Amino acid sequence: MKTWIPDARNFAYLNWKQVDALSRDSTLLVLPTAAIEQHGHHLPLATDTLINNLLLGHALGKLSPKSPVYALPPVHYGKSNEHLGFPGTLSVSASTFMAVIRDLGASLSGAGFKKLALYNTHGGNSALIDVMARDLRAEFRLRTFALHGTGGIQFEGLSSQERAYGFHAGEVETALLLTSVPELVDRSAYTANYIADAAKPELLRPENAPATFAWVTTDIAASGVLGDPRPATEENGARWLEEAATRLAAAFEAMVRYPNLNQP
């Protein structure tokens, strides 16, 4: 798998003596979580994992050399059952995903580390990440942080419809891959589908509302795309990458500074 993680911040490139020399109190370890799943006709199965690595790698490159932040090897497989039915999707159950995160947290806690960031770029994992951040704190006393996607950037230039319902393989994901691995984007195979209309808000919505309805991708899109990739450009991808990396780097620096508390 292609990586943008700087070698000096790749935890798996250290030997055990180098790991043992790391400060247990201040070192922040970042666990990437993503997915291997269909992304329409035009993007690869590894899209979420590539984007995670791309954003994380550029964010780590912006940190002060003295910031003790290291990227752990990613959890490539996620809870992707919304995309089952499309060849290539590899999904694990919620219990399996959470068990893996729990066991990795146990390993790090057992080695004496105090800080862990769960950095997720697959929507199907999001609720589980929030649960596990709390569980790792409660069980192992780890100071655990949850960080999602681009860190909340505004995506200047994105339409209101795409901002609301460009969930999957739409303009943002396509733009980020165009600026990083354009050879993996099939520009001749774009399709567009939306789960709802932002101009016609309903009481029941797919996400981010008091009343929601459950959905799987085959309910909406035969191609597997939830959004519109056609406006995506390499230039917007580069701009959004820079903004996201800056925001994520600031979040990691804040996590490093965040105090470790012994009490519950």
Q: Flag whether 3 is in a domain.
A: no
Task: Give the residue ranges of DSSP H helices in the chain.
Answer: 16-20, 47-61, 94-110, 126-140, 160-165, 171-178, 234-257
The tens digit of pLDDT for each residue in 38-49 reads 999 999 999 999
Residue 2 belongs to some domain of the structure = no
Q: What is the pLDDT of residue 136?
A: 98
Look at residue 257 and tell me whether its pLDDT is greater than 70.
yes
pLDDT of residue 123: 96
| Number of domains comprising the chain | 1
**CATH number of 18's domain:** 3.40.50.10310
What does the pLDDT average to over 202-210? Answer: 91
Q: Is the residue at 53 inside a domain?
A: yes
Report yes or no on 133 lying in a domain.
yes
| Confidence label for 208 from pLDDT (cuts 50, 70 and 90) | confident
pLDDT for the residue numbered 264: 44
Instruction: Assign 262 a pLDDT band (cuts: 50, 70, 90).
Output: low
Residue 222 belongs to a domain: yes
pLDDT average, residue stretch 200-224 = 93
Distances (CA, A) of 175 to 16, 95, 190, 227: 39, 33, 12, 13
Percent of residues, the chain, with pLDDT higher than 70: 98
- pTM of the full structure: 0.96
DSSP secondary structure of 132-194: HHHHHHHHH--EEEEEETTSS---TT--HHHHHH--BSSHHHHHHHHTT-GGG--GGG---B-
Query: Residue 162 belongs to what domain range?
Result: 10-257
Q: What pLDDT, in 10s, does the model give residues 84-142?
A: 999 999 999 999 999 999 999 999 999 999 999 999 999 999 999 999 999 999 999 99
Per-residue pLDDT at 187 exceeds 50? yes
Average pLDDT, the chain: 96
Q: Mean pLDDT, to the nearest integer, of 64-68?
A: 96
In a domain, 142, yes or no: yes
| pLDDT at residue 225 greater than cutoff 80 | yes
Q: What is the mean pLDDT of residues 242-246?
A: 98
**Would residue 128 count as lying in a domain?**
yes
Residue 201: per-residue pLDDT:
86
45, 89 Cβ separation under 8 angstroms: yes
Whether residue 84 is contained in a domain is answered as yes
Please name the residue that has the structure tokens 């996590």: 255
